[in-house]
Amino acid sequence: MIKTALLFAGQGAQKVGMGRDLTEVYPVAKALFDQANHALGYDLGTLCISGPESDLTRTENAQPAIYLISWVALALLQSRLSAFSFQATAGLSLGEFTALAAAGALSFEDGLKIVRQRGRFMHEACESTQGGMAAIVGLDEASTREVCIATGVTLANLNCPGQIVISGATDPIFAAIQLAQDRGARKAIPLTVAGAYHSPLMASAQPKLAVALAGVPLLPPRVPVIANVTGKPHGSPAEMARLLIDQVTSPVRWEDSIRYLLANGFNRFIELGPGTALSGFMKRIDRSVPVFNVADVPSLEATVLALNSAPEAS
C-alpha cells in the first residue's frame, strides 16, 4: 500500500522568478497569485516573479512568497490528478503553516496572512538583536549539543544525519563554529540570514504571533500534520496554536518528523514549493524512499507523469 506525505518548503528556498512559468502556463496559478495579492493588499506575485531580490528575501516577504508558491504547486498537482490523495503533511518552519492549510486546519488566505505577520514579527526580532546561524556538517546531535552548551548557542534545525543548524548571538556563533571544527566537524559554515531563527533571540515574536493566531479559526486537520517542535502529529487546535508559537524559539526536528512518517508506513513523499532542500534531506535519511517535487512546469510534469504510472497509488 502506498502512503503519501506532502512536504512543504521553508524560508531560504525563495528565488526571484519562482512561479513565473506556472502562471504563464496554468490559469489556476495566475488566479491564486491574484487571490494572494488581493488578500495581502500588495503585489506579492510580482515580487516572486520579478523581485528585486533584496525585497523578496526580507522575512516578511519571503515567508508568504514561499507559502504561495507551495500552495500553487499543490493546487496544480491536484488539478492534474483527479484521483490524487495524501495521508499526511509536514513543513519546515514556515512550511508547517502550509502543511496545516493543506490538511484543512486553516484556510489558504488565513495561512497566507498569518505567515506574512509571522515574518514581520520575526524581522522585528532580528532587528532588535544581534544574531546569526551556522550549519554544522559531520557532527552528531550529541556532539553538536555539547558545542552549543559550551558556547551559549542553541540547536535550530535537526535536518538529517550529519547536518544540523545552530543559532544564537553573533559572537557565540563564531565561537561555536571554531569549536565544532576543533571537535571534528567536516564543515562549520555561517549562514546568510537576518538573525538567529529558532533561538531565544526570537522570543519577542511569540506574544505577537499568539495574538495573531487567536484571530484565526483553526480546525482539526483532515490528515495528520507533523509538528516541528515534537516530530509527531498535531493534536487539538489549541495545542496546534501552542506548538506554532513554541516553534519560533524551538529547534525544528525535521529528521524526527520524517522518521515518524517512515515508521508509520509512509513510503512516498512529494516536496511542494521552491527548491529541493527537503528532497536532499530525505536522501540522507532514507535513500530508498521515492521523493518527487513540484516547483515549476518541468518538475510538475515529471511528477504527474510518475504518479500517473502508478494510478493505484495516486
User: Do 273 and 73 contact (CB within 8 A), yes or no?
Assistant: yes
Q: What is the DSSP string of the chain?
A: ---EEEEE--TT---TTTTHHHHHH-HHHHHHHHHHHHHHTS-HHHHHHH--HHHHTSHHHHHHHHHHHHHHHHHHHHHH-TT---SEEEESTTHHHHHHHHTTSS-HHHHHHHHHHHHHHHHHHHHTS-EEEEEEES--HHHHHHHHHHHT-EEEEEEETTEEEEEEEHHHHHHHHHHHHHTT-SEEEE---SS-TTSGGGTTHHHHHHHHHHTS-----SS-EE-TTTSSB--SHHHHHHHHHHHTTS-B-HHHHHHHHHHTT--EEEEESSSSHHHHHHHHH-TTS-EEEESSHHHHHHHHHHHHTSGGG-
**Type of residue found at 82:** S
Identify the active-site residue in 70, 93, 167, 257.
93
Instruction: State yes or no: is 93 an active-site residue.
Output: yes
User: Do 243 and 231 contact (CB within 8 A), yes or no?
Assistant: no
Identify the active-site residue in 70, 123, 167, 198.
198
**Type of residue found at 262:** L
3-state secondary structure of 19: coil
User: Do 251 and 154 contact (CB within 8 A), yes or no?
Assistant: yes
Catalytic positions, written as ranges: 93, 198
